[in-house]
């Protein structure tokens, strides 16, 4: 692949897959009625689906169940990721795909970048400039909507971005146990956390009206497929190189969400989003070069 290889290529693959998974998850929550109850159900159903497949794969491969810190990091990743996805899907279901993706994408890149710099040292001026350009690209790509979003939606996106950042870091350290089990243990954490919250809402009659139709299940399956493969690809990226490179490039996921929305929902990207995608190309050259 020439200059584009190793963890940079894997991270870009994760970004593309995550973008499709996010679009599917947002559409699933919206079709199910929106709100926290719908988001929790979509997350639980999609993660149960992927966990079943991951468990079968791990059993077939004969992989040993992780112990100690690797297990703890995997569960922590699942808890942070599950809560972040609920917040993110709720924001997306409100029609705020642009602003929500922008805010969450920048924070998701910033948290692991800071952790990697503290742990591994500065990445060099070229990659540093690339990180700045990538942050600007993420914002321009995803923040193309002119409409002002509600404050509550913005806070959901902030919570999602911070959660995704913690998720990236935890998944990196859980990756010491391989690729399949870290993802499976993360699913254990997210299913348990979101399931307990959902039961609490149902007990308090606060889950709202949720419609789990055949169409919703279709979105759930699509979410499980693309989100899980994206996560596995991201774990491989963190094992192949620096966490900050993998996280920043993977955080370009709003690009594929916007492109898919343009194709599926006939929403033409704005000029600002076009410039953002061009800046993303420059960022990739700087970071991966």
Residues 134 and 148: their CA atoms lie apart, in Å, by 23
Residues 6+ apart with CB under 8 A from 132: none
pLDDT in tens, the chain (289 residues): 444 457 888 998 999 999 899 889 888 988 888 778 888 899 999 999 999 999 999 999 988 899 899 999 999 999 999 899 888 877 776 765 666 676 777 778 888 888 888 887 877 777 788 778 877 877 776 555 444 446 677 788 888 889 998 999 999 899 887 889 999 999 999 999 999 988 887 765 655 667 889 999 999 999 999 999 999 999 888 888 888 888 888 888 877 877 777 776 655 667 776 787 777 777 766 765 5
Residues 229 and 129: their CA atoms lie apart, in Å, by 29
The alpha carbon of 154 is separated from its chain's Cα centroid by a whole number of angstroms, namely 17
Residues 270 and 283: their CA atoms lie apart, in Å, by 20
Residues 270 and 87: their CA atoms lie apart, in Å, by 26
- What integer pLDDT is reported at residue 1 of this predicted model? 44
Name the residue among 145, 142, 39, 31 with its Cα closest to residue 88: 39
Residues 6+ apart with CB under 8 A from 180: 54, 57, 58, 61, 63, 232
111: helix, strand or coil: helix
The total number of residues shown for the chain amounts to: 289
Residues 111 and 217: their CA atoms lie apart, in Å, by 33
- What integer pLDDT is reported at residue 136 of this predicted model? 80
The continuous run of DSSP H or E covering 86 comes out as: helix 68-93
Tokens representing 260 are: 């898919």
Angle of CA points 85, 288, 168, to nearest 5°: 25
120, with CB counted inside 10 A (0-12, 13-18, 19+), is: exposed
Angle of CA points 89, 95, 96, to nearest 5°: 75
- What integer pLDDT is reported at residue 118 of this predicted model? 82
Q: What share of the chain is helix, strand, coil (3-state, %, to 5)?
A: 80, 0, 20
CB distance 249 to 284 below 8 Å: yes
Residue 211 CB neighbours (<10 A): 11
Residues 7 and 51: their CA atoms lie apart, in Å, by 25
Q: If you ran DSSP here, which 8-state letter would residue 269 be given?
A: P
- What integer pLDDT is reported at residue 147 of this predicted model? 43
- What integer pLDDT is reported at residue 230 of this predicted model? 93
Show the beta-strand stretches assigned E in the chain. none
Name the residue among 288, 286, 287, 233 with its Cα closest to residue 256: 233
């Amino acid at each position: 692949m020439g200059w584009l290889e190793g963890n940079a290529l894997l991270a870009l693959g994760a970004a593309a897959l995550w973008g499709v998974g996010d679009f599917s998850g947002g559409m699933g929550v919206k079709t199910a009625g929106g709100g926290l109850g719908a988001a929790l159900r979509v997350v639980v159903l999609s993660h149960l689906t992927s966990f079943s497949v991951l468990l079968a794969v791990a059993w077939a491969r004969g992989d040993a169940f992780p112990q100690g810190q690797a297990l703890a990091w995997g569960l922590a990743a699942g808890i942070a990721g599950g809560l972040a996805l609920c917040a993110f899907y709720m924001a997306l279901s409100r029609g705020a795909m642009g602003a929500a993706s922008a805010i969450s994408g920048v924070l998701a890149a910033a948290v692991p970048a800071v952790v990697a710099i503290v742990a591994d040292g500065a990445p060099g001026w070229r990659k540093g400039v690339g990180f700045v350009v990538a942050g600007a690209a993420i914002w321009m790509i995803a923040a193309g909507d002119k409409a002002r979003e509600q404050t509550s939606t913005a806070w959901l996106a902030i919570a999602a971005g911070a959660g995704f950042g913690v998720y990236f870091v935890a998944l990196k350290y859980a990756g010491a146990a391989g690729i399949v089990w870290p993802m499976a243990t993360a699913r254990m954490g997210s299913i348990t956390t979101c399931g307990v919250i959902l039961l609490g809402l149902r007990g308090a009659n606060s889950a709202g009206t949720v419609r789990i139709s055949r169409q919703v299940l279709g979105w759930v399956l699509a979410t499980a497929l693309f989100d899980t493969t994206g996560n596995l690809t991201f774990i491989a990226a963190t094992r192949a190189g620096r966490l900050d490179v993998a996280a920043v490039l993977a955080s370009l996921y709003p690009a594929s969400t916007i492109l898919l929305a343009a194709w599926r929902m006939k929403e033409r990207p704005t000029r600002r989003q076009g410039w953002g995608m061009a800046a993303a190309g420059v960022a990739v050259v700087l970071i991966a070069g």
